[in-house]
Amino acid sequence: MRVLVTENLRIDLEQELWECRHCETALIGARENYKRGLLVYDRDPREIHKPLLDPRKYERTYSPHPQWCRILEYYCPQCGAMIETEYLPPGHPPVRDIDFDIDALKRQWADREEVIEAPVGSEPPRRRGHSHAH
């Protein structure tokens, strides 16, 4: 039984392993912080959110300030898929974002069928029948 956890991660309950959903390889034990099974890169945010205003003319350019904000990019060590990103000030400890009770998870899924493809879910309700057309 495998349980989908994010767009990129799943847990093999029998093996008690975190797995990458892209290359289907094991990352680390399911009771561990899954990030410990990944590679991390400290990205200067200006490389992604590039300055749109001329930095020679302006202090604020639509880019985050690199002394205030960094992007931690987490990669699968096998296939290089970007599993997670984290926006943090420099030096801030990464957050343990998922910390499940694996024994409870096993009990919960004992009676459930495995979900192979994540369902989409319904669209949120929207107001209909209104228009600004003249």
Partner 1 sequence: MNDMQTPLDESGVLDRFLSENRLFCAPDPAIMEDHRIGPRDAREQALLEGEVDPHRINQVRGLILAALDEGNTMIEQMGAAPGAKWGDMVAAIFTASGDLSMIAPHGVVGFAACCHYPIKFIRKYWEHDPTVGVRDGDGFIHNDARYGGIHNTDQSMILPLFWKGRLICWLSATVHEGENGSCEPGGMPAAAESKYDEGLKMPPFRVVENFQIRRDLQTFLQNSVRDPKLQYEDMKVKLHSVLRLRERVLRILEEHGEEALIVTLRKNLEDVVEEVKRRIRELPDGTTRVVSFADSTLRENALLKLNMAITVQGERMTIDMRGSAPEIINRSINTNLASFKTMLFTGYLQNIWPDLPQCMAVFTPLEFVFDERSLLNGSFETPQAMSLIPLFKAMTIACIPMAKFNYMLPHRYTAMVAPQYDQPATLIYGGLTQHGEQVGNFCADINGMGQGGRSHRDGEHSVSPPFAAHCDLGEIELMEEDIPIVRLGAFTLAKDRVGFGKQRSGLGYEQIATFRGTGLWGFMTGCSGSLFPSALPLFGGYASPAYPLCKIKGVNVFDLMRETPEAFRFDIVELMNTQPFPGASYSTHDMGMTFELAAPGELYMMCQGAGGGYGDVLQRDPAQVMLDVAEDLISDVTARDIYKVVFDADTHVVDEAATAEWRAAERRERLARGRPYDEFVADWVAPEPPASLPFFGSWSDPQQVYGVTMGQRVAMPASGLESMFMLNPKDVRIAQLEAELLAARGSAD
Interaction between residue 30 and partner 1 (CB under 8 A): no
Cβ pair 70, 45 in contact under 8 A: yes
Q: Distance between terminal CA atoms of the chain?
A: 57
> Can you tell me the distance from the alpha carbon of 63 to that of 69, in angstroms, rounded to the nearest whole number?
10
C-alpha 20/C-alpha 34 separation (Å) is 10
Restricting to residues 104-133, name those near partner 1 by CB under 8 A.
104-105, 108, 112-113, 115, 118-127, 130, 132
Binding residue for partner 1, selected from 89, 110, 129, 133, defined by CB under 8 A: 89
User: CA 83, 88, 92: angle at the middle one, nearest 5?
Assistant: 110
Q: Does residue number 57 form part of the binding site for partner 1 (CB under 8 A)?
A: yes
Of 19, 26, 39, 110, which lies in the binding site for partner 1, with binding defined by CB under 8 A? 39
Residue 84 near partner 1 by CB under 8 A: yes
Find the binder of partner 1 among 25, 61, 110, 133 (CB under 8 A): 61
* DSSP category for residue 123: P
In the list 1, 12, 16, 77, the residue contacting partner 1 (rule: CB under 8 A) is: 77
